[in-house]
Amino acid sequence: MLSRRILLLSAVAAATCLHVPSIAFAVEVKARSFIQDLADTAMNTVAVKDLSDAERALRFRNLFVNTFDLPEISKLVLGRYWRPPTTAEQRGEFQKLFEDIQVYTWTRRFKEYSGETLDIFGVEPDASGDSLVVSQIRRHNLAPINVSWRVRKDGETFRVVDIIVEGASMIVTYRSDYSGVLSSQGGKLDSLLAVMRQKADQLKAGS
Amino acid sequence: MPRSVVARFAAPLFAIALLAGCATPPPADDKEAMMEWDQNNDPLEPMNRAIFDFNQAVDKALLKPVAQGYGAIMPQYGKDRVRDFIRNLRAPVVFFNDVLQGQPDRAMQTLMRFAFNTGFGIAGLIDVAEPGGIPYHDEDFGQTFAVWGIGEGPYLVLPILGPSNPRDGVGIATEWLVDPFNLYMDHIDRSWPVWTRAGVSGLEKRERLLAPLDEIERSSLDYYSALRSTYRQNRNAEVKNALNPTGLR
């Protein structure tokens, strides 16, 4: 009786041992193809020539809100200012302005697109349970740029939570940037929102 | 000669530090504000911001326009030759640091590159080693000190040189003092090659950083904070030699 139970247990243990790596492997493969698809879609829809600025911005915005985890990114960028006394409206406003700033920043980058390609080297599991897709942007005549994409499983697909460019995380950099503004404005979130609004308008005009 | 330059820079820096004073840390009971303070690692922020503003003014008036001019006039082939030559001239320093960091493989790479490029690449003008399968990598004394376990210390903006910290600043001074090229020129009593080289490598570096720095300035609200964060993260990755995706498992 006992030996049968042990046998059963070891069979289950063996099965899980065999199973876990294959699940992890499947996640890695999917994370990789998610980033590859994201890059391909961006190349084929946003980076194409002869688009009006408005159309390009619209196309990027659609791609961006569907593939990036904006609520999570906003929360991480705002850090301690995300919690009360910050109101839900202020959070919503922050997320909207952050989205706008990203959209106009990236729209201009894609407008200047000149044949860069994305080379994916592999996928590393991350301490937080996310996956890190390690890649390089290859450029004509210039040194490649090291870019890692932190992606998080979201149902059947993934969402980008962070981009790490040459070792610098987008979230860490923005958090430091925005908290610099907040501390110079006496920690008033509305002042930060006003500066962000100004930035978004400025980027929109120049995109 | 190189020694006197270090001394000449140190004195005014110290004077500015005294004048500008330190930032006030948040009250100790505000834990999150304290964490932010620690994370920014910038107790000398008022002084740093003053030097940063000075650097920005010099950059806008002089360095950036010159780098833009160089970028526009010099054809890509010429830029590559300048870059290769400057890199090759630094190879002894890189080699020395590879050794001090206990990296014999990387030291051997640097040594082979120096031999090939100096011999077959017309005194280093053409990097023949890279296409031959020995890729370039950079090292400096700041990174070596970090590998030895020396912390970065508080964030420091150096006049003209920009974002740094005491560890990397001492690294820059050390390099200036032990670089064989500088030592030799000092020995034969010629200072113009040292200054010309410093000028050209600074120009080459500024030209390479034109687009990345513009990007950071354009997308940030507070350029100073964004640059500080980017510098410290990037430097940390360099120390760990983490910017080499081929090292991936």
Residue A147: the pLDDT is: 93
DSSP code of residue A121: E
Residue B64: the pLDDT is: 96
Q: Which residue has the higher pLDDT, B237 or B37?
A: B237
Q: How far is A104 from chain B (nearest CA, A)?
A: 9
Show pLDDT as tens, one digit a residue, over chain A (207 residues).
556 666 666 666 655 555 555 566 788 888 898 999 899 998 888 888 888 888 889 999 999 999 999 999 999 999 888 888 888 899 999 999 999 999 999 998 888 888 889 999 989 888 788 899 999 999 888 888 999 999 998 888 899 999 999 999 999 999 999 999 998 888 889 999 999 999 999 988 876
Residue B245: the pLDDT is: 58
Residue of B nearest to A196 (CA): B221
Full-model pTM: 0.85
Name every residue whose Cβ is closer than 8 Å to that of residue A156 and which is 6 or more positions away in sequence.
Answer: none
Q: Which fold has domain A30-206?
A: Nuclear Transport Factor 2; Chain: A, (3.10.450)
Q: Calculate the alpha carbon distances from A75 to A161, A185, B202 in Å.
A: 11, 20, 39
Share of chain B above pLDDT 70, in %: 89
Q: Does A80 touch chain B (CB under 8 A)?
A: yes
Specify the residue for token string 């200036």: B176
pLDDT digits 0-9 by tens, B132-143: 899 999 999 999
Kindly determine whether residue A121 and residue B220, on different chains, have CB atoms separated by under 8 Å: no
Confidence of residue B249 (pLDDT cuts 50, 70, 90): very low
Residue B247: the pLDDT is: 44
Mean pLDDT of B169-188: 94
pLDDT surpassing 50 at residue B113: yes
Share of chain B above pLDDT 90, in %: 77
Provide the ipTM. Answer: 0.83
Residue A19: the pLDDT is: 54
Listing DSSP states for B87-129 in one string gives HHHTHHHHHHHHHHTT-HHHHHHHHHHHHHHHHHTTTTTS--T
Name every residue whose Cβ is closer than 8 Å to that of residue B127 and which is 6 or more positions away in sequence.
Answer: B80, B84, B87, B88, B113, B117, B121, B136
Cβ pair A71, A109 in contact under 8 A: no
Residue B35: the pLDDT is: 77
Kindly determine whether residue B221 and residue A196, on different chains, have CB atoms separated by under 8 Å: yes
Beta strands in chain A (DSSP E): 117-125, 131-138, 145-154, 157-165, 168-169
Q: How far is B9 from chain A (nearest CA, A)?
A: 29
Q: Does A16 touch chain B (CB under 8 A)?
A: no
User: How far is the C-alpha of B203 from the C-alpha of B160, rounded, in Å?
Assistant: 12
pLDDT digits 0-9 by tens, B193-239: 999 999 999 999 999 999 999 999 999 999 999 999 999 999 999 99
pLDDT surpassing 50 at residue B190: yes
pLDDT surpassing 60 at residue B19: no
Kindly determine whether residue A180 and residue B221, on different chains, have CB atoms separated by under 8 Å: yes
Tokens of B163: 């974002």
pLDDT surpassing 50 at residue B248: no
pLDDT surpassing 80 at residue B30: no
**Nearest CB to A168 within list B40, B234, B246:** B234
Q: How far is A181 from chain B (nearest CA, A)?
A: 6
Angle at A185 between CA A181 and CA A190, to 5 degrees: 90
The amino acid sitting at A97 is L
Q: How far is A166 from chain B (nearest CA, A)?
A: 6
Q: Does A181 touch chain B (CB under 8 A)?
A: yes
